Amino acid sequence: MTAAATILVARHADAEYESHHWADEGGSLTDTGRAQAHDLGHRLAGRDVAHVWTSTYARAVQTAEIAAAALGVAVTTREALREFSVGSFSGSRADDPFAETYAAWLSGDLERRLPGGETGAQLRLRMHHVLHEIADRHRGQTVLAVSHGGLMRLALPLILTQEPADPPARLANCAVVELTVDDQHWRCVSWPPAPAEAE
């Protein structure tokens, strides 16, 4: 039996965006976000984190680099950790055009897709693959993976042996979901409670 890997999957820190139009990339950390990312690194200082992996989006990369600096480890990007695409809504200013599709995904209709975007099943698959890659590289170690709230809340319960919630709680900035992965099982060690404003 190969030693289990521990993956601490964190949502990126608070960010502000360049425009009010929907877009996939963009977002730079606010002062609050930088403090949150710094705190994330210090919160994990006793966990002997071996490496930090991150989504390619700026808000996640900035979070990862600040946390990694506090932990004294390197950072690697993986596109598969990015948030779900806004698809054909890119450039739109519509009010939350994703709500209906996202609710359908959470209720189990994974074949639904955003126009020009991925299905829920495709999101689950890419998250599963990248976390498997990370686990395989870090057997017996603990690593941090910085991702995005929407993807985490949808995909993580679908790849876990023991689902943490139904539907899982919303995730605050820099909230951490702790997973362990061995040859046979995925296990959720902890899923943080929803932030007060999301109750």
DSSP letters of 77-110?
Answer: E-GGGSPPP-GGGTT---S-TTHHHHHHHHTT-T
pTM of the model as a whole = 0.89
Confidence of residue 94 (pLDDT cuts 50, 70, 90): low
Domain count, the chain: 1
pLDDT of residue 58: 92
Give the structural domain span for 19: 5-198
Average pLDDT value for the chain: 86
Confidence of residue 16 (pLDDT cuts 50, 70, 90): confident
Q: How far apart are CA 89 and CA 185, in angstroms?
A: 37
Q: For residues 121 and 24, which has the higher predicted lDDT (pLDDT)?
A: 121
CB-based contacts of 16, cutoff 8 Å, min separation 6: 27, 28, 29, 30
Mean pLDDT of 6-19: 88
Mean pLDDT of 149-170: 77
CATH number of the domain that residue 110 is part of: 3.40.50.1240
Residue 183 clears pLDDT 60, i.e. is over it: yes
pLDDT of residue 162: 44
pLDDT of residue 99: 81
Residue 142 clears pLDDT 90, i.e. is over it: yes
Whether omega for the bond prior to residue 164 falls within 30 degrees of 0, making it cis, is no
Confidence of residue 198 (pLDDT cuts 50, 70, 90): very low
